[in-house]
Amino acid sequence: MEENYAEHAELFSSLANTQTPHTLFIGCSDSRVVPGLITSTKPGEMFVVRNIANIVPPYRVSDDFVATTAAIEYALYALGIKQIIVCGHSNCGGCAALFYDEAKLQKTPNVKKWINLMSGVKDQISKHCANDKAKREWLAERLNIVNSIRNLLTYPNVKEGYMAGEIKIFGWHYIIETGEIFNYDPHNDHFALLNKDYDYEKISHQLFD
Ligand SMILES: [Zn+2]
């Protein structure tokens, strides 16, 4: 830790009083999804929101304590971030929990409630591959990314900014065991492999420069 700190001493010093992150990264809380590692970014570059299954709830002003919505609101309207990555991942427990029995979620009522935000995803999957566990979980991870992007567009002015090309939104499906990233292509409605050469440096330049 101390070595890390010494190595970036100048950077930390420049960040002491301000942050100007270029990207809002919305990822899963899963311990295997490490935003800085995936994107080769340094402190100060990304404003990060993590929750179970990288879900973006639809925008609303609420009397409840809405951490994810508040963080996204802050990133967009206080920090003025114009580039957003919604990053789902393989083997996501939150997406798998969509198909759990009621009893299995009995001790985690707040998780049960939270993943209700993916109920539309569950309905879509049930029509296609209800009995193929691996296929339905993989599909849930990807449809959930698209669902989160759709919900991002409900935040004030985001849809207009996105349509005008002023706000960029990426949907990534990160594969834990290979490091591959599949990027959502909204025009063709499919996910295409982003980093053929596993060159994270190159990707981060392509997307962040
Ligand atoms: Zn996850």
Domains of the chain: 2-208 (3.40.1050.10)
Is 60 exceeded by the pLDDT of residue 122? yes
User: How far is 180 from 38, CA to CA, in rounded Å?
Assistant: 10
pLDDT at residue 130, as a whole number: 63
- Ligand 1 centre from 44 Cα, in Å? 24
3-class secondary structure, 92: coil
From ligand 1's centre to the CA of 108, what distance in Å?
16
3-class DSSP string for 14-83: HCCCCCCCCEEEEEECCCCCCHHHHHCCCCCCEEEEEEHHHCCCCCCCCCCCCHHHHHHHHHHHHCCCCE
Ligand 1: centre distance to CA 41 (Å)? 21
**Alpha carbon of 7 to ligand 1 centroid (Å):** 31
What are 8-50's pLDDT values in tens digits? 898 999 998 999 999 999 999 999 999 999 999 999 999 999 9
Residue 54 in contact with residue 28, Cβ under 8 Å?
yes
Over residues 142-169, mean pLDDT: 96
pLDDT band at 103 (very low <50, low <70, confident <90, very high): very high
CA of 81 to the centre of ligand 1 (A): 24
pLDDT of residue 199 exceeding 50: no
pTM for this prediction = 0.91
Q: If you measure from the C-alpha of residue 75 to the centroid of ligand 1, how many angstroms do you get, rounded to a whole number? A: 22
124 or 78: which leads in pLDDT:
78
In the reported structure, the alpha carbon of residue 122 is separated from the centroid of ligand 1 by a whole-number distance in angstroms of 16
| pLDDT for the residue 2 | 64
Ligand 1 centroid – CA 53 distance (Å): 4
